Amino acid sequence: YVFLFYQREYIPQISKKVLNQMMSANQGRPDILVTLTELFDFYRRDTPFDVDLAKQAYADSSVSIHFLFFTKAARHIPGVYMEEHSDDIFNAFKEIAEASGGFTESSSNPIFLLQKAVEASENYYLLYYSPTNYKRDGKFKKIKVKIKNGNYRISHRAGYFAN
């Protein structure tokens, strides 16, 4: 098993009221005005990896990835609000966990998250199969698992590379 831990990310932003006060107080200082207007516009992050390729690689590895997301609330700072910037990494890790047959769980309680991780590693059945008409073409082959009884939660890897 592999466990990915990630905590909610916040970027501090100056409230509009405080920003307007600072700009009004510095009308004669264009250098400060430019700095104030650009101060918090710098944040931009692209997902630093190919999510689809990572999903396929982890699905092919036969390792369950479990994603535990800590949802700790932002600290309150007067005149500043915290803008969350976790979506890009959260979504990528969630997709990787699902593709590998793992799970995603969110909580502000780390003990709860770790208990869920232990439960996931203790309760499972392993099924093996050999695909009919197996062809070594190097392509990613999707796996679909169905059961008749709906009282079970199914987790399985998304597929494998036919190497």
Q: Where are the domains of the chain?
A: 2-124
The end-to-end CA distance of the chain, in Å, is 23
Distance of CA 153 to the CA centre of its chain: 21
pLDDT tens string 18-74: 888 888 888 888 888 788 777 766 566 677 789 999 999 988 988 888 999 999 888
pLDDT score for 81? 83
Percent of the chain exceeding pLDDT 70 equals 95
Q: Name the band, by pLDDT with cuts 50, 70 and 90, for residue 104.
A: very high
Least confident of 120-124, 136-140, 152-156: 120-124
Distance from C-alpha of 56 to C-alpha of 153, rounded to nearest angstrom: 22
Bridge partners, 33 (sequence order): none
Q: Rounded to 5 degrees, what are φ and ψ at 33?
A: -60, -45
Buried/exposed 113-125: b ≥16 CB within 10 Å, e otherwise? beebbeebeeeee
